[in-house]
Structure 1
């Protein structure tokens, strides 16, 4: 505990060893460590006792990084630690820190000294001219966060949550700062209660409980590079099974086996593509996790088998609360093995959730995560293909659910968690609880699901959550404001290094109008994670319940998603390999265009597709900004010069969608589910005038064989002159075998289309079109 106020003093002494600089600043001591040329860690703590790596730390340990060549330079007034990418400057009189680009431009500079007082600390950074801030996880409101105060404390918020409700389900203390010709990203390594404050012009303040200031800073000339460096630190998403990229249908609840069968048959009868059906809490016996309600689901194994035969996977919800019931095997086993969190007095920490009085596993412990996986295995053996982890902020009701539940809180902050040699309290691990549950789910499935990839979904979590699971934005509402809010939320999650994200299509709470549902499905069909979901007590929200017109719009929107699967799967591969967002803010590819810095109602899907959804009722046209270069209307082929706003037609059955010049968009035929898509399915490659490149990634979509190199990559390039356009396709690389298949190349030259078809056997080829 810090007993007195402490600030940085003058540098008294320092030592430089390898890639690390130690600085004595009076009472506080500082360590500056370059982990990569573009990534530095700065730690400061009064007394100089730095914490050891803990098992729950989300950042890669320093020793996992290769040694970095750095150079120390000193002048009369400062110490300069240089990597090949940027410099850290420490002022000798104040020990304040700033970063410098190779050209000497400052960034992430102390405005005043950090302060430690009792059991908390804060630091204040100078906001440079024209600097903008993004990320911070799932926050509502505008995508650019200047002016906001954002709390990091995982919370099930009061209903209905909205644009300025904070905190929410996730705590992701990661942000991206951007100004022309300069970008950097920051991860503040504090799992305790904390907040960012951008409400005072000219400064960014971070305040946290705890003692050690621990900050990682990634620098890059391009924003995508910065996100890649942050992903090197925090981890990258695993490559999902292809079926997880299909459409998911959910409701609280499809309450019986018959309901699920009728739902599945309706999708197939109406030829609306769908891959996954989610089962909410009513499939359980009295909300007891790892059980089935035998009256409603008499034969879950046969149900799962029949669903899979029809092209559907089943995903079941799991909550962390384990019902206190001496006759319940999960509780008995967990109590015997001491897996549950205990309060400060050493008794079981109890709280009310769906099954009324419950206890909560301590997912910070590896043995408890393994225990959870062992019970999860029973559902895997029943044919369940994935898990939806909910209520894991953790949320706790003020009274039993059977008596109404009441307000939502959490576990006692002095409850004890962790292994014996790193014992701490829930105050330190609260924000990590959802991530720990997601890790247990992922590790259990990886162990017990043979060589099959699984799907995991999680409501809560901390930075690095992408290593274990997809995420969604929680319990939204069927209103236009939440449709609009989802666009910025998903982009900001990607900017926080969390790429596999979605929001409930149509809104969870309340009843969508036909127009709202149509507009939401148009863009929701292109969410990275695409799921329709609705709450108990609302009207049905399946795609066919709003009338024939909306049913047709939904079908066409999902047909497009499934046709784009070769493109989307390749974009997801980039996310898994390099940490790139699937949904990208425009400035990620146009960082010198200041106009893009505040656009949060348009999105790039991968590099080439740009969607501009309609986000207000009654509109049949909308303003769209086209960045520099040529752009093509996806539907009509009209070519537009960029660097301007246009008025795009948007009848109810059309999502404004544009393609960047030089685009290469591989597509497949329409399928009802991804199981119908085979490696020899025909492929159509759409190309557009300009200069561009694309790498098509393919594997079996199901197994982990790709980790052994069993995948294929095909590199493509488009080159254009005033008279011709040429598509050059390299020889296919990799050991994944693809039978000969028909490949059609369609050249879009404005409204003019040309097509040529070849038999693709993996050899290099070129196709040339004469321009008309």
Structure 2
């Protein structure tokens, strides 16, 4: 089956219908709809409705409650069921949530009712609930489910660039490599929806799915899913509760969240034009000379552009295709691009940084103008002979038909021997060079439904899943303490490290779309995600765009700049400053990079919480404030962690913006002045070019690492382990216990009581002392201390109290 939106003919029993398909072509030779009545049976808590008999198939829908969720199975059975004494109405109830499902046989209808009596989902009067369509010549089936919905907002669906709320749209689940201006296409689609009405739904399908939300009438939706004719079953799960409840339940059912190492949350450096060791070292040196901290450098153009595991210009004798190279088998010419990769990696590590290398899952077809590579030819010959590559239906090797890496072979990661062979050639990168992770690019290469994989799956099943087999294999190869940084994905992506938003042009519109993508992928249970600051493609951004994107990135899970194309297009702050003539760029970047390093204890602590709870780090407002109706309509503010409210500025020339304060009391992040109490909306809040509106939840305790000046934005001089001055900003008495955890073994708890806080270190780790920055009412300090510190320029003073770890182990009471 080809994907392309061409016209096709749908045939039902009586006539032909000409339709325009969406992304994929589904040619239908027959379609059927269930009748108006059903036969009902209840056995062991499973309610089955036999809807109709169509030729050799019996249309059935089964419902059951389990683990606080409603499970639905729509299938084509081959035998009618024995219902015994038929019932006209059957109901089942969930003891965990109090929800119940009521089903009537004639006319067939059902309703999912929550504990407070509201109908959440139901059949649609006058509409067949279950339609079945068959493709010609034994091809795929398609199921279509019509549902009545109490929801007015639909979120999730993976990484979505066009709208956070997909109501009125038709999001499909189809991995697509769309270079810039993604619109309704995405690299990371998921068959998941979350609503404001108290329910969400996961359609457990790897094949193509489309959600048509309110197609004709408000409060209705149609779910269309391609089905394997060998197993004509579609399973769905309806989760109940708030958006946060649904995200947690969905993640629990699809895979545990992987926690990246703390260094992954510092500033990243990257540029596609950095294609030689001297150039990478020059960029690192410039960053140091300008006082711009970073924790990660990504090198994309490091390999020979053929094998993607041998350094460019490295000399070696060609070996058989099954050979796994060791580092000492390569000679690195002094005049070559990479004269000493080991020294480069060691220098990066000595500076406290980590190094990530780019990867792609292909055996590349070299263009006529590219140099012949004997080792690559032997590798390809071996991979084909051993059956290590994806194959066409006729058994010949599948080659990517068009687009990026057209003509290249694709490794079959469902084949354990292929995976072992692939990584044996890359093992020296970890074991002997010590690289810290891989930027696992691509994965959107399955463009034919009929290709075959070693584990028996076909292209229709692997269009969406291939990216996950690829990055999961790299995740397992990299091992603990290292990362993958991936572009494409699908269900279960939260188990595989970090992701980024793919390719965007440098424009305010694209930056706004990236914010939407970040919030939607967070709603889809993927907490660790970032983007190329101000876009990677085309001419460099304006200074204003770069700074506004920088401010957004500083309060996002991954903060990185990256560029495509020649060196003149580098998105380094010094190149942006030089090209635009705006000297503010470097100083503003320095402030935000230092701020990011200041905030690493907070960010990592929140990342630990996200990994445990499966809730995102970059949080759409309805996750934390479901009782505030406005939170379901606001798509340009978010919580960064549980205590910071961020309102980025992504309109050109804007120096103010409206801000909605959710429920609670809020302090300005920069001045620590109390701003107001929510829910309320400020129609205009100032935002000069160097500061965006950020607010702290009153009562929050923020762990931060400050420099010697104890000011926000002060350099810490630390990129790796340890702290300059581990501090805790105490903005009031927290509503519940706050626990701080780091990657060095420390655990410190702040427990509220009647007269203030009880602070105790359950484990010290490498911490030897901490500072408390304490705010009292009207700025007055209520606890003794050693000195005062100004949080930021123009902000309030805080009392600074130094506590040695020995006293914290015993426990300290702090009156507030």
1:444-495 deviations in Å (ceiling 9; x for gaps): 122xxxxx41111111111111111311111011101122222221111111
User: Separation in 2 of the partners of 1:292 and 1:139?
Assistant: 36
Match of 1:69 in 2: none
Match of 2:518 in 1: 490
Q: Is there any run of 5+ residues in structure 1 with no aligned partner, and where?
A: 51-73, 395-409, 447-451, 702-710
Q: How does 1:178-257 map to 2 (within 5 A)?
A: 178-179=196-197, 183-200=198-215, 201-210=218-227, 211-220=232-241, 222-257=242-277
Q: Does 1:323 align with 2:364?
A: yes
User: Separation in 2 of the partners of 1:418 and 1:571?
Assistant: 40
Q: How does 1:526-537 map to 2 (within 5 A)?
A: 526-537=555-566
Match of 1:404 in 2: none
User: Separation in 1 of the partners of 2:177 and 2:413?
Assistant: 19
Using a 3 Å threshold, how does the CA distance of structure 1 residues 693 and 760 change in structure 2: closer, same or farther? farther
Match of 1:467 in 2: 495
Q: Does 1:298 align with 2:339?
A: yes
Match of 1:101 in 2: 114
Match of 1:644 in 2: 680
SS at match of 1:244: helix
Match of 2:726 in 1: 683
Q: How far off its partner does 1:569 sit?
A: 0.8
Q: How far off its partner does 1:641 sit?
A: 2.5
Q: How far off its partner does 1:9 sit?
A: 6.2
Tell whether the 8 Å contact from 1:7 to 1:115 is kept in structure 2 after alignment.
yes
Tell whether the 8 Å contact from 1:475 to 1:504 is kept in structure 2 after alignment.
yes
User: Separation in 2 of the partners of 1:21 and 1:199?
Assistant: 27
Match of 1:732 in 2: 761
Q: Does 1:338 align with 2:366?
A: no
Q: Does 1:713 align with 2:747?
A: yes
1:598-633 deviations in Å (ceiling 9; x for gaps): 111111111110111111121222211112221111
User: Separation in 1 of the partners of 2:77 and 2:798?
Assistant: 71
Tell whether the 8 Å contact from 1:663 to 1:693 is kept in structure 2 after alignment.
no
Q: How does 1:355-504 map to 2 (within 5 A)?
A: 357-381=407-431, 382-394=433-445, 410-419=446-455, 423-446=456-479, 452-504=480-532
SS at match of 1:474: coil
Please, which of 149, 156, 163 is the counterpart of residue 127 of structure 1?
149
Q: Does 1:168 align with 2:183?
A: no
Q: Does 1:284 align with 2:300?
A: no
SS at match of 2:558: coil
SS at match of 1:430: helix
1:47-82 deviations in Å (ceiling 9; x for gaps): 1699xxxxxxxxxxxxxxxxxxxxxxx985233242
Match of 1:543 in 2: 573
Tell whether the 8 Å contact from 1:374 to 1:444 is kept in structure 2 after alignment.
no
Q: How does 1:260-275 map to 2 (within 5 A)?
A: 260-275=280-295
1:212-244 deviations in Å (ceiling 9; x for gaps): 221112111x32122111111111321111111
SS at match of 1:364: coil
Q: How far off its partner does 1:6 sit?
A: 4.4
Match of 1:142 in 2: 163
Under a length normalisation based on structure 1, what TM-score does the superposition of the two structures give?
0.85
Q: How far off its partner does 1:316 sit?
A: 1.1
SS at match of 1:173: strand
Match of 1:58 in 2: none
SS at match of 2:278: helix
Tell whether the 8 Å contact from 2:769 to 2:805 is kept in structure 1 after alignment.
yes
Please, which of 15, 20, 30 is the counterpart of residue 61 of structure 2?
30
Under a length normalisation based on structure 2, what TM-score does the superposition of the two structures give?
0.81
Using a 3 Å threshold, how does the CA distance of structure 1 residues 697 and 662 change in structure 2: closer, same or farther? closer
Tell whether the 8 Å contact from 1:236 to 1:578 is kept in structure 2 after alignment.
no
Q: How far off its partner does 1:14 sit?
A: 2.2
SS at match of 2:569: coil
Match of 1:705 in 2: none
Match of 2:43 in 1: 16
Match of 2:330 in 1: none
Pick which of 740-749 and 334-343 moved more: 740-749
1:181-219 deviations in Å (ceiling 9; x for gaps): xx2222111111221112523212221211422111211
Match of 1:564 in 2: 599
Tell whether the 8 Å contact from 1:237 to 1:576 is kept in structure 2 after alignment.
yes
User: Separation in 2 of the partners of 1:327 and 1:687?
Assistant: 60
SS at match of 1:436: helix
Tell whether the 8 Å contact from 1:505 to 1:517 is kept in structure 2 after alignment.
yes
User: Separation in 2 of the partners of 1:116 and 1:741?
Assistant: 67
Match of 2:791 in 1: none
Match of 2:132 in 1: 116
Using a 3 Å threshold, how does the CA distance of structure 1 residues 374 and 587 change in structure 2: closer, same or farther? same
Q: How far off its partner does 1:386 sit?
A: 0.5
User: Separation in 1 of the partners of 2:746 and 2:104?
Assistant: 52
1:740-766 deviations in Å (ceiling 9; x for gaps): 313323226454633322223333222
Answer 1 or 2: higher relative contact order, Cα 8 Å, separation at least 6: 1
Please, which of 810, 813, 816 is the counterpart of residue 763 of structure 1?
810
Please, which of 376, 383, 399 is the counterpart of residue 350 of structure 1?
399
Tell whether the 8 Å contact from 1:566 to 1:696 is kept in structure 2 after alignment.
no
Q: How far off its partner does 1:360 sit?
A: 0.5
SS at match of 1:466: helix
SS at match of 2:387: coil
Q: Does 1:92 align with 2:112?
A: no
Q: How does 1:47-86 map to 2 (within 5 A)?
A: 47=77, 76-85=88-97, 86=99
User: Separation in 1 of the partners of 2:271 and 2:685?
Assistant: 34
**RMSD of equivalent CA atoms:** 2.6
Q: How far off its partner does 1:301 sit?
A: 2.1
Tell whether the 8 Å contact from 1:120 to 1:207 is kept in structure 2 after alignment.
yes
Larger radius of gyration: 2
Q: Is there any run of 5+ residues in structure 2 with no aligned partner, and where?
A: 1-27, 53-57, 81-85, 135-140, 314-335, 366-372, 708-714, 779-795
User: Separation in 2 of the partners of 1:529 and 1:673?
Assistant: 20
Q: How far off its partner does 1:106 sit?
A: 1.4
SS at match of 1:172: strand
Tell whether the 8 Å contact from 1:321 to 1:353 is kept in structure 2 after alignment.
no
Pick which of 205-214 and 370-379 moved more: 370-379
SS at match of 2:802: strand
Pick which of 248-257 and 349-358 moved more: 349-358
SS at match of 1:149: coil
User: Separation in 1 of the partners of 2:79 and 2:339?
Assistant: 58
Tell whether the 8 Å contact from 1:276 to 1:312 is kept in structure 2 after alignment.
yes
SS at match of 1:610: strand
